[in-house]
Homo-oligomer: A and B are copies of this chain.
Amino acid sequence: MKKVTIDTSSKAYEVFIEAGVRHSIGKQLETVLTQAPSSIFIMTDSQVAPLYLDDVVASFEEKLPVYKAVIESGEASKSFAVYEQMLTKALEYGLDRKSVVVALGGGVVGDLAGFVAATYMRGIRFVQVPTTLLAHDSSVGGKVAINHPLGKNMVGSFHQPEAVFYDTETLYSLSEREWRSGFAEVMKHGFIRDPEFLEWLQREVKTFDQIPVERLNSLLERSIAVKAQIVSEDEREAGVRAHLNLGHTLGHALETELGYGVMTHGEAVVIGIVFALKLSEELFDIKLNIDHYEKWFNSLGYQTKLPANVTTSKLVSTMTKDKKVEAGAIRMVLLSELGQATTKEVSADLLEKMLDERMEVATNG
């Protein structure tokens, strides 16, 4: 079994990566938890439940009470209403301070269940059991949240899990679209911290079809190791943790402008990464061999041009409304060289000029 340690200022815990680990979560938890759980509350979604819920339930000893809740699959479940419903269930099931929440699913389940655990009786323990590739990012680092109609992830906490159990077997039931969404964050980790890993990825991942499980385990281990490093340096996003937003400022603006769901998060982030690379070349007077990356992105099915139906001025004004923006200037994550992320304030005018001059526009939005 592969292990990555996440060592934050508030807590240290392990990410266990192994094909089939869902079958032994109950057993593994016994060694992970210093205080035995009084009961277990598994939250999952309607798409994951039929596939893996029984396996996880079966992994617990019969004498331990195991409760379940299944939310609708999709981003809309990260709402106040569902949050409140889950807390109601927790109370109805009589969860106490020694109970443990299990988040079985992608980033939606992880963020929601994590926030329930963070706030139920002022915080109880939880573990992440990610089942999407994207969740290799969301399940590590303790950021949990729900959405507000006025903004994504606006209500939440920092609440670190007791452990993350990553069952790579579960990733094979994901659609190609979901692979693509998650893989953007994997590449991002290479760009900001680990050029060798980025090279390895280019060699080993030419298609999402049939990646052998051993390769997948290695990929996750290396990608999570980057996130682990950054989170351990900066748990609360006061500094370097912002580097994880490479490609995200433009990415979020694209998601907002197109309407959520048109492009996946990762697809939007890849366009954002391309732009960040181009901006980095301009501002740091370096060469990043962008064409070569663009080709790789395209071969994996990513779009790297701006959609035709959004104007650059609209994108820029959406970017300035982003929550990471302070006092009008936009702090962008850029690369001073490959593997070296840094942040730099860029004026709205320059952003718009660069978008216009350096980004291509798709012929069909």
Q: Show the binding face of A for B, using Cβ within 8 Å.
A: 38, 80, 84, 87-88, 91-92, 96-98, 118-123, 143, 145, 148-151, 153-158, 237, 323, 326-327
Contact at A91–B123, with CB atoms within 8 Å? no
Contacts of A158 in B (CB 8 A): 122-123
Known contacts A120-B155, A156-B119: A96-B150 contact under CB 8 Å: no
Contact at A87–B154, with CB atoms within 8 Å? yes
Contacts of A157 in B (CB 8 A): 118-119, 122-123, 157
The SS class assigned to the A binding surface is mixed
What residue of chain B has the Cβ atom nearest to residue A92's Cβ?
Answer: B150
In the complex, what distance in Å separates the CA atom of A143 from the CA atom of B123?
A: 11
In the complex, what distance in Å separates the CA atom of A70 from the CA atom of B121?
A: 26
In the complex, how many angstroms separate the beta carbon of A155 from the nearest chain B beta carbon? 5
Per assembly, the copies of the chain total 2
A-B contact pairs, 16 of them (CB 8 A): A80-B80, A87-B148, A88-B149, A88-B150, A91-B151, A91-B154, A97-B323, A118-B157, A120-B154, A121-B154, A121-B156, A121-B323, A122-B143, A122-B156, A122-B157, A122-B237
Contacts of A153 in B (CB 8 A): 122
Contacts of A98 in B (CB 8 A): 326
Contact at A326–B120, with CB atoms within 8 Å? no
What residue of chain B has the Cβ atom nearest to residue A145's Cβ?
Answer: B122
In the complex, what distance in Å separates the CA atom of A302 from the CA atom of B38?
A: 39
In the complex, how many angstroms separate the beta carbon of A272 from the nearest chain B beta carbon? 21
Contact at B323–A88, with CB atoms within 8 Å? no
A156, A158, A237 pick with most chain B CB within 10 angstroms: A156
In the complex, what distance in Å separates the CA atom of A148 from the CA atom of B83?
A: 12
Contacts of A148 in B (CB 8 A): 87-88, 91
Contacts of A97 in B (CB 8 A): 323, 326
The residue from B38, B91, B150, B326 contacting A91, defined by CB atoms under 8 A apart: B150
